[in-house]
Structures are given as C-alpha cells and as structure tokens.
C-alpha cells in the first residue's frame, strides 16, 4: 500500500475520527465529565502544533503533533480508565488504515499513550507538545452545566477560569500558561488542588523541549 503524508486536515475530514470524538464526548457526558468534544480536540491540536512551530522545530513534526492532539482523547469512547492506552491502540489501527507511514503512526501513538498525567512521560517533542496543549486547555467553556460548580470542584475550577492564554517565548525559552481566575468562584489554592499533577507534567514536558514552564494566575507568577 502506498503511504501518505497525512495532515491534520485529512484526519479532521475522516468520518471514523469524527464519530470516535463524538462517542468519546458522549461517554464523558454520561459520567458528568467536562467537555472533550470537537472544540477540545481542535484546541489541543492547534496549540500542540503552535508550540513546536514557535520553538523552531520541524514542520512535519509539528503536523504530527497536530494530528496527535486532535485524536488524543478518542480512547474515552470505551472508558475513561486507561483511555490514553486505548486511544493509542485505536490510533495505530486508524492511521494504518488511512495509509500513514509506520514510523509516523508510531510517533503519534506514543504521544497519545503518554498524554495523561498519571503515567505519561514526555519522551519526544510531539509527546511534550501534546501534553502541554492538553493540560493547559482549561476554561469555563468546558463546563457542561453551571449547576454542577457548587458540588464538583473540578467543574468549579474550570468555570472560574475566565481567560486562558498559552504563550511561547522562543528567545527566553519559556512556555507560559496565563490564567484569569474569578476568585469569587474558586480560590487559587483550589486550582492547585485539582491541577497540580498536570502542572508537574507540563514542567517535565517543557524541560524536554528545552524550556521553562511558567504558570501565571491573575498576573502573579506562581511556578
């Protein structure tokens, strides 16, 4: 079979991919998890590519990061538990069917399999970019219902984030997540209670890319 230089545009057009993302988000909605649909997939895809491009990495590597970011959560359609491993397995079968080069398929599967903060390790530029893009996608728009924010600290913290900006400073070698949080909804300490492990893996991913990771909340640099 002839192998293809697939792009993220090709992946976005594929009906199987669209159905996987839709079913994954539907499953997470049933267990009252934040939104993981098309918008999240697109955000992670765009930021993963942007990180590598702005840091001066190879264009093709950045495109593979975009593909990885777009399909990183498809494993959720089966179960949230170990969704990164399931997603990596699904990605290998899907990308092989679409005719992608084996090495590129393996690079993408590896990135998907390592994006979760519980067990993920930034072992490549692609993996590192996807980790940062995914963990920094925090915003009130990801909360499904405002009615959950009083009982669910995860939803409350997400809903408190009025603005989130992921900034890349190539010369200073800094990757910065700047958040504007409404502290009347959630205290800054609540953010750390929920997202500390995510910030730790972001730091490791930034280190892999030769950068420092910074977290700025309401104008104050905390990490």
Using CA atoms, how far apart are residues 75 and 105, in angstroms rounded to an integer?
16
Using CA atoms, how far apart are residues 131 and 51, in angstroms rounded to an integer?
11
Domains in the chain with CATH codes: 8-221 (1.10.3210)
Q: What does pTM read for this prediction?
A: 0.95
Task: Give yes or no for residue 1 having a pLDDT over 60.
Answer: no
| Angle, helix 15-30 to helix 59-71, in steps of 10 degrees | 50
Q: Nearest Cα to 91, choosing from 80, 76, 145?
A: 76
* Strand, coil or helix: 7: coil
Q: What is the mean pLDDT of residues 92-99?
A: 95
* Strand, coil or helix: 220: strand
pLDDT number for residue 194: 86
Structural contact between residues 91 and 109, judged by C-beta atoms closer than 8 angstroms: yes
Using CA atoms, how far apart are residues 32 and 44, in angstroms rounded to an integer?
21
143-192 tens-digit pLDDT: 999 888 988 888 999 999 999 999 999 999 999 999 999 999 999 999 98
pLDDT number for residue 3: 67
Lowest mean pLDDT among 31-35, 106-110, 211-215: 31-35
Q: Over the chain, what is the mean pLDDT?
A: 95
| Angle, helix 38-54 to helix 125-135, in steps of 10 degrees | 130
């Amino acid at each position: 079979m002839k192998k293809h230089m697939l792009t993220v545009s090709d992946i976005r057009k594929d009906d199987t991919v669209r159905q996987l993302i839709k079913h994954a988000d539907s499953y997470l909605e049933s267990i009252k998890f934040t939104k993981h649909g098309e918008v999240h997939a697109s955000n992670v895809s765009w930021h993963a590519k942007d990180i590598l491009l702005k840091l001066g990495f190879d264009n093709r590597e950045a495109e593979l990061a975009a593909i990885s970011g777009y399909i990183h959560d498809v494993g959720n359609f089966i179960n949230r538990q170990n969704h990164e491993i399931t997603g990596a397995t699904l990605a290998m079968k899907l990308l092989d069917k679409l005719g992608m080069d084996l090495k590129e398929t393996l690079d993408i599967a590896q990135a998907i399999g390592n994006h979760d903060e519980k067990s993920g390790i930034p072992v490549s530029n692609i993996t590192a970019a996807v980790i940062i893009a995914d963990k920094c996608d925090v915003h009130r728009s990801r909360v499904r219902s405002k009615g959950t924010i009083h009982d669910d600290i995860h939803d409350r913290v997400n809903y408190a984030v009025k603005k989130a900006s992921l900034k890349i400073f190539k010369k200073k070698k800094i990757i910065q997540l700047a958040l504007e949080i409404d502290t009347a909804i959630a205290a800054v300490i609540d953010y750390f209670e929920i997202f500390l492990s995510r910030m730790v893996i972001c730091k490791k991913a930034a280190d892999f890319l030769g950068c420092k990771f910074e977290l700025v909340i309401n104008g104050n640099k905390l990490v």
